[in-house]
Structure 1
Amino acid sequence: MSANSAPAHVRFRDQEWAKLIRFARHDNGALRIGVVSGRRRLGKSHLLRALCEQMGGIYLLAVQEDSRPAAQARVTEAIARARGVPAEALRLGDDWAAILRLLLQPLPTTRHTPPLLVLDEFPYLLRHSPELPGLLQSLYDEARYESEAGRETLHGGVILCGSALSVMDRLLSGQQALRGRATLDLRVPPLNHRAARRFWRIDDLHTAFLVDAVCGGVPGYQVLAEQDSPQSLTEFDAFAVDALLTPGHPLYSRTETEYLLREDPRLDQRAVYYPLLSAMVGGATTPSEIGARIGKERSATAHALTVLEAAGYALLDEDLLKKRSPSYLVPDPMIRFNQAVTVPQTPLCFSRSCKRAAGLQARHACVPLSKA
């Protein structure tokens, strides 16, 4: 395996790996910043952990429940482990600037490679430490100036990763501190239908199409399914019933949809967004049609549609020939399945005696769902 090759356990992500390894290996003598984003369960953390392992970098995963002191203590302990010193020896206190500086110092074992720092689930850190982008901007500008002046300075790469798309996109927009300072802006997409079929190891094309129609190219769903991949239409029925339509199962589509929507802090009133998603899945595509479907004026839905678009759960398609007739659709197959099948059939989902009927309805609903 060449130095730039992806490890064997990083599958179907050659393009993303090439961009990440190029960012990590490049050393222009100053600090570099990268942003990686994408919805949950696509394998972003898997990619970045493998990158840090190969490059000798430091990978830090933020925890949603952590307070500011707890997050700083967690980071300080990680620094101590990486440097082989007791955590008590690092008296950094409530000083993110000092913590970041120490994180970006080369480790004793990686003196000849540029330092690499990955801050995964960065939006969780922003909830209690909103000054972090500004501190990174300050370190970036300082390092750039010192490098151009021919003096030693901080160098290496910092990768900020997160699943809340509206938060991650905003990092590099408008007047935000990091605008114009990121040399990597990588949105990790779902696997395409061909790669997803190989990932699930499904031989039958029709069955692979149905699985893709309800799960999309999300690698994490194979693990959550907790069963062998379906290989026929009959097995798909059982898969849909047991995995997607059974309350309490990790892949129950209603629970998964709730989980996805909770990820973005802007979707704080989900009762407002569920009717919009159902209207779009039901065939309403224009703002006027969506508003009419839920009994509201077009102007009353404009802001909510904009929020859904920023969060990645609504896709706006603007026809160049019809500028005043934008079309919205729901790009996520799991959310489409939930709104079109699970929500209307919730009583059946809770009735074990009706499981087989629910599975048949799911199979027949998948074909139009995949075209939505």
Structure 2
Amino acid sequence: MPASAGFLHPEPFFDREDELRALERAWSHPSQGGQMALVYGRRRLGKTYLLQRFVAGENMPKPACYYLAEQTTAPTQRLLLATQLLESLGGTSLAPSDLAVSWQALLHYVCEQWKRRERFILILDEFPYLAEQSPDLPSILQAWWDREGAHSTVMVILSGSHLSMMKALGEPNSPLFGRFNAGILQITPFRYHQTALFYASSPLYGVVEKLTMYGVLGGTPRYHALVDTSQPMEDEIINLLLRPGSPLRYEVEYLLGTQQIRDPASYNAVLGVIASGETQYGRIQQLSGTGNSLSFYLRTLTELGWIREEMPFAEDSRRRLLYRVADPFLAFWYRFIAPHKSLLEFSDPVFVYETRMRPYLPVYMGQIFEQICLQWLQTYCPNRFHVHILQASRYWSRDGRTEIDIVADLSDGRRLFAECKWNLGRPAGADVLMDLKAKVQTVPHLLQHKRAVYAIFAIGGFSPELYATAQSVPDEVWLIDQTSLLPNTSIASASTTAIYPNT
């Protein structure tokens, strides 16, 4: 019996249904030919978890061989894979050393041994480690695939975390270009409503706590899985990030190392400057000391998904481009952990949190809340308001006098203007709507004869006056409170006492 009979069936399994469905479709495809898939994404996002779930199946495991490559020599890698294949496929008296003479021999053995109609899955995880030691491996795979694999019932999955190397496998100049008939799946970070699932059963984590944990840990599932939801939120932030030996205290150094970044000092400097609030190219260059090399560092960080470029809505001049840290975990780490690393070595972490972090969290979460509100529009707008978001971004005028948190084009031709208020325990009043309308009037070119929709996101709810105004013009004013931000979650929260009804 294939070794996959002993595969784990990971639980809980959150929100990778689309990716799992794509793999299941390829595995059960009625064609007789082979299937090849490319699966990649940053570390800790759940690639291996997804592949485990795929192989384990709902009721019965699929025949498979899972090989996790190590950073070792090519002969050792082949020997380890040979051992895995012999355990999974059997049917031969060969010793692993006999089979491991070449990559060609290993791949041929798979097709030679597997003759059933049901597909056999070969997963090569951390494939970049193999390609580093055997640069010709993609070409070897291509030749084997065209000669044998494509005509077999084998499904090959190449998985890895080195983003640039994995992306390159699917590009036109790669030997494997056009071979990924099972799809190219990029595993991306969770959005805020997906990370909230980790806290669904805890009475200590209401909406505010769930959103705050997204602001602290970002969209990486592994980080949220580390949280002990039987403990209060602030205790867990201290336990995971501040105490000596805590699981995430040195995570950024690990991430820099796993992407094989040379000169991590410069990347650290750039990320630290951007996280501190300096978002213009010139200021980043000046404060990071990176000189003419800054463009290279920014491009690399953007490709990794660690920073993002931001342009004002409806602008196309790159002279107005800003840079922001894209991952909330990195933003939190460089904003609160990195500047206090020395202090944390010799001080009580509770003291550091209470004096250097907690007082500044509301301002920090105000920035994260804008990202959350944009995600809400993209995720829930179709069901709630029966329109789709076509494009959206922040807007700021050239003179710096007008800033609008979100401007978006709706699929029905209207234009949305949104204000995002992280106003704990303080309901948003009618003045918030009046101020938003006044700001829009100062930038008439954004209206362009379009009908305007005004949206107010407020974590602290709304005053009765603003609620009444919205009810009188429901097509013009949208109010989104805690109930709507996480519609499948109880609004009970240790941090908020006043909640007003939503529209």
SS at match of 1:315: strand
Aligned match for 2:104, one of 94, 97, 106: 97
List per-residue Cα deviations over 1:172-216 (Å, max 9, x = no partner): 224121223223111112222122112233541111111110112
For 2:129, the aligned partner's letter is Y
* d(CA) in 2 for partners of 1:9, 1:357: 34
* d(CA) in 1 for partners of 2:96, 2:346: 59
Alignment of 1:124 with 2:134, yes or no, is: no
Residue pair 1:37, 1:186 contacting (<8 A) in 2 also: yes
Alpha-carbon offset, residue 133 of structure 1 = 1.0
Alpha-carbon offset, residue 328 of structure 1 = 2.4
Residue pair 2:82, 2:97 contacting (<8 A) in 1 also: yes
SS at match of 1:350: helix
Q: 2:435 maps to which residue? A: none
Residue pair 2:27, 2:35 contacting (<8 A) in 1 also: no
Q: 1:170 maps to which residue? A: 168
Q: 1:315 maps to which residue? A: 308
Q: 2:253 maps to which residue? A: 258
Residue pair 2:34, 2:152 contacting (<8 A) in 1 also: yes
- CA pair 318-128 structure 1, distance change in 2 beyond 3 A: farther
Aligned match for 1:218, one of 208, 217, 220: 220
* d(CA) in 2 for partners of 1:198, 1:71: 38
SS at match of 2:32: coil
TM-score by length of 2: 0.64
Q: 2:74 maps to which residue? A: 68
TM-score by length of 1: 0.85
Residue pair 1:36, 1:160 contacting (<8 A) in 2 also: yes
* d(CA) in 1 for partners of 2:324, 2:112: 46
Q: 1:304 maps to which residue? A: 297
* d(CA) in 2 for partners of 1:280, 1:348: 22
* d(CA) in 2 for partners of 1:187, 1:229: 33
- CA pair 338-209 structure 1, distance change in 2 beyond 3 A: same
For 1:282, the aligned partner's letter is S
Alpha-carbon offset, residue 323 of structure 1 = 3.3
SS at match of 2:317: strand
Q: 2:14 maps to which residue? A: 11
For 1:311, the aligned partner's letter is L
* d(CA) in 1 for partners of 2:349, 2:95: 59
Alignment of 1:58 with 2:51, yes or no, is: no
Aligned match for 2:118, one of 103, 108, 113: 113
List per-residue Cα deviations over 1:4-49 (Å, max 9, x = no partner): xx97643322111111111222253333321111111121101112
Q: 1:239 maps to which residue? A: 236
List per-residue Cα deviations over 1:230-276 (Å, max 9, x = no partner): 5xxxx222222121112311122xx10111111112x1210111111
* d(CA) in 2 for partners of 1:34, 1:307: 25
Alignment of 1:346 with 2:353, yes or no, is: no
Aligned match for 1:42, one of 33, 37, 45: 45
Alpha-carbon offset, residue 368 of structure 1 = 4.5
Alignment of 1:156 with 2:154, yes or no, is: yes
Alignment of 1:80 with 2:86, yes or no, is: yes
List per-residue Cα deviations over 1:46-76 (Å, max 9, x = no partner): 1112222332222111122x22111111101
Residue pair 2:266, 2:290 contacting (<8 A) in 1 also: no
For 1:287, the aligned partner's letter is Y
For 2:224, the aligned partner's letter is Q
Larger radius of gyration: 2
- CA pair 73-354 structure 1, distance change in 2 beyond 3 A: closer
Residue pair 1:106, 1:114 contacting (<8 A) in 2 also: no
* d(CA) in 2 for partners of 1:228, 1:170: 40
Alpha-carbon offset, residue 90 of structure 1 = 6.6
* d(CA) in 2 for partners of 1:360, 1:107: 63
Q: 2:185 maps to which residue? A: 186
Q: 1:207 maps to which residue? A: 209
Q: 1:324 maps to which residue? A: 318
- CA pair 176-210 structure 1, distance change in 2 beyond 3 A: same
* d(CA) in 2 for partners of 1:244, 1:113: 47
Q: 1:3 maps to which residue? A: none
- CA pair 206-164 structure 1, distance change in 2 beyond 3 A: same
Calculate percent identity across the aligned residue pairs. Answer: 27
* d(CA) in 1 for partners of 2:109, 2:212: 50
* d(CA) in 2 for partners of 1:116, 1:247: 42
* d(CA) in 1 for partners of 2:82, 2:133: 17
* d(CA) in 1 for partners of 2:315, 2:339: 36
Residue pair 1:33, 1:181 contacting (<8 A) in 2 also: yes
Residue pair 2:89, 2:113 contacting (<8 A) in 1 also: no
* d(CA) in 1 for partners of 2:160, 2:83: 22
Equivalenced residue count is 348
- CA pair 139-30 structure 1, distance change in 2 beyond 3 A: farther
